[in-house]
Amino acid sequence: MRNCPETSQVRCVSLVGERDTVEGECPVCGHDDAVYIGVEDVDVDVDVEPDGMGGYTAASLGGHRFLAAHSFYCGVCELDLVNAEELDAAGLETEVDFNEFVEPDFDPHDR
């Protein structure tokens, strides 16, 4: 895992094989180098407008990046949660926010 600056507003993300990881705090020992393991996803905000010809035009307004976590591991106390049910039981999130908004490729109001 790469080292993240302590002043970073965005959580540290690294790619392990075909899985993404995000650093988090362990609920057992409190160590902050534990990791959520999952797949990066984006919740896209879409605007749909009538096109005047009986159809519709969709435009992306951006989106919100998050990690769809399926497991969690702490190397200090060796807490190893291997599925979403265990994450829920431990009170951990299964959708970990990257705290950044993905900007649209265009101005949706400039049509």
Q: Please give the C-alpha separations between residue 95 and each of 42, 49, 73, 81, 105, in angstroms, as whole numbers.
A: 11, 30, 16, 15, 25
Domain borders along the chain are 13-101
Give the pLDDT score at 88: 93
Reported as type and span, the H/E element at residue 102 is strand 95-102
Residue 66 and residue 100 in contact, taking contact as beta carbons nearer than 8 Å: no
pLDDT band at 104 (very low <50, low <70, confident <90, very high): very low
The CA distance from 72 to 29, in Å, is 13
Evaluated on CA atoms 82, 85, 86, 90, the torsion sign reads positive
Residue of 14, 10, 9, 19 whose CA lies nearest to 68? 19
Cα dihedral 31, 36, 37, 38, rounded to 10, equals -170
Placement of tokens 């507003």 in the chain: 9
- Note the pLDDT of residue 28: 94
- pLDDT per residue as tens digits for the range 15-49: 444 578 888 899 999 998 888 999 888 888 888 88
4 is written with which tokens? 């993240």
Q: What is the mean pLDDT of residues 104-109?
A: 44
Compute the average pLDDT of residues 44-65: 85
